[in-house]
Chains A and B, each alone.
Chain A
Amino acid sequence: QQQVRQSPQSLTVWEGETAILNCSYEDSTFDYFPWYHQFPGESPALLIAIRPVSNKKEDGRFTIFFNKREKKFSLHIADSQPGDSATYFCAASDYNTNTGKLTFGDGTVLTVKP
């Protein structure tokens, strides 16, 4: 059962555009939503994360928008750069289970063209 769904599978944008990556989830007990990125030949690494106490989290060019009612969250990458080309994974976890387990989406491959 796929609990965290990502779309699109792949996305191509031009340098300077805003890339928008989407995720949705099913389990209403999820309350922590990180995004990891993975560059070719490397391992995933945490990029930015949000808890539902707020519906927006910013870190430089990266912003998470969160919609609890619709169980959706998205990553916006402003002023995209070729160096942002990577695979982006959204994930979710339930703090109340007191485990560190993350449920990952299948990933979005982002290509930024110069």
Chain B
Amino acid sequence: DAGVTQTPRHEVAEKGQTIILKCEPVSGHNDLFWYRQTKIQGLELLSYFRSKSLMEDGGAFKDRFKAEMLNSSFSTLKIQPTEPKDSAVYLCASSRDWGGYAEQFFGPGTRLTVL
């Protein structure tokens, strides 16, 4: 089975641009998570979907970050407008619908640099 895939692997944006990151979860997984990872802040949850329904939208990330899941096999994360402080690795993860005990499988991540 294919793991979680993310595209692009690297993205360079100018301040103020709109960027869209893409994620395909493991086939059959019902939970999908978007995280931001930086050395200072660690792993921060941006959004969480269960069976395409938004369960959590990451509080502090609401204003410029929008995640969508139009079908069970594809999700996007839009950042609009981008700011230099958004430079980070964005990770997508998925897991089966086994409540709180399911293993999260992470994708390779998208490294975003905002100039």
Contact present for A101 and B56 (CB under 8 Å): yes
Q: A interface, how many residues as a size bin?
A: 20 to 34
Question: Considering only CB atoms, which chain A residue lies closest to B45 in the complex?
Answer: A101
Contact present for A101 and B48 (CB under 8 Å): yes
Contact present for A43 and B104 (CB under 8 Å): no
| Interface class of chain B by DSSP | strand
Chain A: minimal CB distance from B58 (Å): 11
Chain B: minimal CB distance from A96 (Å): 8
**Which of A93, A95, A102 is packed against the most chain B CB atoms within 10 Å?**
A102
Looking at B10-18, B79-87, B95-103, the stretch in contact with chain A turns out to be B95-103
How many residues on B have C-beta within 8 angstroms of the other chain's C-beta atoms?
Answer: 24
29 A–B contacts, CB within 8 A, in A order: A31-B100, A32-B101, A36-B104, A42-B108, A43-B91, A43-B106, A43-B109, A44-B104, A45-B106, A49-B103, A89-B43, A93-B100, A93-B101, A97-B100, A99-B100, A100-B33, A100-B95, A100-B98, A100-B99, A100-B100, A100-B102, A100-B104, A101-B33, A101-B48, A101-B55, A101-B100, A102-B104, A106-B42, A107-B42
- B contact set with A: CB distance below 8 Å: 31, 33, 42-43, 45, 48, 50, 55-56, 91, 95, 97-109
